[in-house]
Amino acid sequence: MLEETLTVEQGALLPDEMLESWKEFASAAGRLQRISRQIGKAAERWDLRLLRQRLPEAAQLAQDVAAAAQRADALLSGWTAQDAAAGLGAYAEAIERAAQQLRLPLQGAFPEYEVFPLKIALDLSSEQATVSRRRTSTLEPQSLLREVQASYQALHRSSFNQNRFMKALTAAHKLLRQAGGSKSMDVSLLAIHEVLTMRSGAGDYTRSEFAFDIYRLRRESDMVYDHHQLSFLNGRSGNLAVPNAKGGTDALGILRLVKVEDDV
């Protein structure tokens, strides 16, 4: 029920009067829903006595629901989320608190966050949030972070083909070396990302997703492919932030290939 899910914390962004109007509507609508089910069953049984008792109650409740909806609509019509500047600090705290409760590694600050590799942007002018490239109208902190949690868990459970990714990396590495006429075995990761994006036609393969694939490769593989050891190193610029096994983050900007005798 709506009246059970609305909390005081949400009032940091939303006026208390508006929250109360939603609770009032939800309560009246819940009572009407319950009596409507009773009337439906009575009608199936031709229970005339119950119908004579409940139909007038339903008519009154319907008026109450309509009145509550009109009051809630009037309050909402005169208010926009972007005007609630006074409550933004507490709203941001509620988002961070929800992330802690759900044990999500939330980084950033209002209105842009990241739960690697998911980007979260809150756009109060359009009264919606974006989780990576998917828009959601959910603004309530717990509900929003639960959606993020579901996407985050799905990403970490998804299958990952190590050899296919290493094949794509080494092919892009070779192409860039040939195009640049370079003998160096160090190639920019950002340049590799551009090649992978163009080759696959997947223009929505973001740098964060690329970094996530690198994270999974470093975690799950010995990173040896086609007689070459793949090493990800820090670059002078254009580094990607990639989590490491120690719980920290590495700044990686270069892929280096080193010839080895045999694939391990």
Q: Which domain holds residue 22?
A: 2-79
> Cα 158 to the chain's mean position, in Å?
16
Residue 147 lies in a domain: yes
This prediction's pTM: 0.71
Please check whether residues 101 and 134 belong to one and the same domain: yes
Residue whose entry in the numeric block shows the structure tokens 């075995």 = 185
What's the average model confidence in pLDDT over 104-116?
A: 92
Q: Is 12 helix (H, G, I), strand (E, B) or coil?
A: helix
Contact 124, 82 (CB under 8 A): yes
53-85 pLDDT tens trace? 999 999 999 999 999 999 999 988 877 776 665
Please check whether residues 12 and 73 belong to one and the same domain: yes
Residue 264 lies in a domain: no
DSSP 180-227: HT---SEEEHHHHHHHHHHHHT-TT--HHHHHHHHHHHHHH---EETT
**Of 21, 54, 79, which residue sits at a domain end?**
79
SS3 content of the chain, % helix, strand, coil (to 5): 55, 15, 25
214-254 pLDDT tens trace? 999 998 888 999 889 999 999 888 889 898 878 788 999 99
**Of 26, 61, 79, which residue sits at a domain end?**
79
**Of 79, 95, 129, which residue sits at a domain end?**
79
Residue 220 lies in a domain: yes
Task: Name which of 210, 193, 192 is nearest 116 in CA terms.
Answer: 210
Question: Which residues on adjacent β-strands are paired with residue 129?
Answer: 122, 136
